Amino acid sequence: MRTTVKTAAVTLAAACALLLSGCGGSGGSDASGPGSGSGPAADVSTAPSQPGTLLDTPFNKPQLHLTDNQGKPFDLVKQTAGHPVLLFFGYTHCPDVCPTTMSDIALAKSKLPAADQAKLQVVFVTTDPDRDTPARLTEWLGAMDKSFIGLTGDFTTIQNAARSVGVGIAPPVKEKDGSITVTHGAEVLAFWPKDDKAHVLYMSGTTAQQYAHDLPKLIRSEAP
């Protein structure tokens, strides 16, 4: 499997401290992949010193209409309105960043009181829609948390939505050796329920313990 983890860092004044991760679909070695974000690229090797970064300018929730993992139409803005939301763009054949991120979020969520667990919506938008069918998303996400929402559909629609919140993704590329490289942002955006805007950005490497510390504050629309 071919994998790359990159960051595209932009100043907090611009409200975009972003990560780019390129992950291979099959094979074994690490490799670099092009990003579609802006700003200088830098390797990511350690967890952030603090869990979340408070954005100077919150992002509006993307106007995104896709198909969920139950095969039903899903309007992201409408169907997550008034809920605390964690949004991540990735894909199920990812060897490292995606399963680690979603597993850490699932573990953190499991530590919340039942009432708070019911409020939190975790949304996983695939960057590899050709392979990530609703059935595949249900199987993959269900192994972590059956309440997680998986979305798939038209790649251009997904890419435009990702860009609207500063996440760079690129179309999957089939390599000469048959592996597939998928380049996508590795950050998690946290939307507060009071205004449905993303106020907090979590970098790749944020631990389950760090998410667990912050989730109660997210549910109350408070800064980490």
Q: Where are the domains of the chain?
A: 52-172+186-219
The per-residue pLDDT for range 7-29, each reduced to its tens digit, is 333 333 333 333 444 555 443 22
- What average pLDDT does the segment 157-167 reach? 96
Does residue 180 contact residue 25 with C-beta atoms inside 8 Å? yes
pLDDT of residue 157: 97
Q: How far apart are CA 30 and CA 27, in angstroms?
A: 9
User: Is pLDDT of 40 > 60?
Assistant: no
pLDDT of residue 23: 58
- What average pLDDT does the segment 127-156 reach? 98
**DSSP letter string, 98-129:** HHHHHHHHHHHHHTS-HHHHHH-EEEEEES-T
Q: How far apart are CA 189 and CA 77, in angstroms?
A: 14
Q: How far apart are CA 94 and CA 23, in angstroms?
A: 6
Per-residue confidence band for 57, with pLDDT thresholds at 50, 70 and 90? very high
Q: How many CB atoms lie under 10 A from the CB of residue 28?
A: 11
- What average pLDDT does the segment 165-177 reach? 94
Per-residue confidence band for 197, with pLDDT thresholds at 50, 70 and 90? very high
Does residue 172 contact residue 129 with C-beta atoms inside 8 Å? no
Q: How far apart are CA 2 and CA 211, in angstroms?
A: 28
**DSSP letter string, 4-60:** EEEEEE--GGGT-EEEEEEEESSSS-B------S-S-EEE--S--SSSEEEEEEEEE
pTM: 0.81
Q: Which CATH architecture has domain 52-172+186-219?
A: 3-Layer(aba) Sandwich (3.40)
